[in-house]
Structure 1
């Protein structure tokens, strides 16, 4: 077996081995991050949550480095996993590894074409909910103590995230810090991308449904035409047979 094949097998084995532990760790990270941010923890509780998140972050770093070492083509793998790099390089993005959880729904899929659209819709909906929640935590963390900031509670932060990711932008709440505005820019870009994915998926579903209906109608029409042709052929045969009998019968007048 080639060396690259051996490394690829080891990479797949590592990913299978660490998938569930990393999902559990990401869930713990998100809970700790949310608790620390919403409750504005101080003292020993804050130290506990910070230590927990640092340990989990270190586990993500180790996982990334191991997968990079095991990858058969490291350069190609690196370029194809820039999001994973961001997840370990930027603490804000670490909870987004929870998007791997939605892959569990693949066991519910039955039809290949519908499975693809179903996964896309689930990824988009799950991603939108997770990004909105994480952005709410992040902007609250950045804006809560900033002078003149209107975003000082989690409900305000959640409302701001909802109107931002949907590109509505009422303008009643707006971040004033550089970090908060950076989060806003990323959230708006993510919102436009998610809306585009959902719109394109729905359009594809509508087009495929109409095409299926048209194909069924065309097949039904062709079946009717074939049936009519068969009946006309039978009638023609009967007429020909009757004409022959008429010619052969004597004149009885």
Structure 2
């Protein structure tokens, strides 16, 4: 068997044409196998490439969807910011309008205060000429405020008391404004502008009145104007203050 193969191989080697034909047949066979194998490899790689491409495309589509969602969110955010800007603009315009109103009010108040000062000057001048009349006028000005304390200003009496006990100076007489009801004496000191002297005068009259009448006494200081520190001092001493203007 081995010798037959050797003989055939020898014949092929010694026959160039047969050798060429055999080589060509072998080459074609190997070539076909290589091509098929290469095609299979290419098909496999193509399949993998298509699979990867699909995944990439899906990833791209997902990314595009995310970008679209982000763009929509950004659009909403910018719309919100724009609305906020418009609202801020309206608020600022409102603030400016309010500031202008406040400025106008301040200017008007300044005019009112000047008018009040002129009135106070007029009151001061008038008081120097007719004290008792101006006291009655002041009481009438604050009639409603007095009514809140249960006082009828029309019943406030102007009179004179004498220091018979020598509380301050025996025999000295003092003018007072008072109002008595339900066993209580309401004692008034009426001033255009109340100062520390008004507190002192009210307390002196209270002491003398207490020595003459054993009744409860409620003190009232009625004034067109009073300094804030004087008002606090009076109230600490149990005096009810009714004033038109409290000066800082």
TM superposition score category, shorter chain reference: under 0.3
After TM superposition, the score normalised by the length of structure 1 is 0.27
More helix per residue: 1
More strand per residue: 2
After TM superposition, the score normalised by the length of structure 2 is 0.27
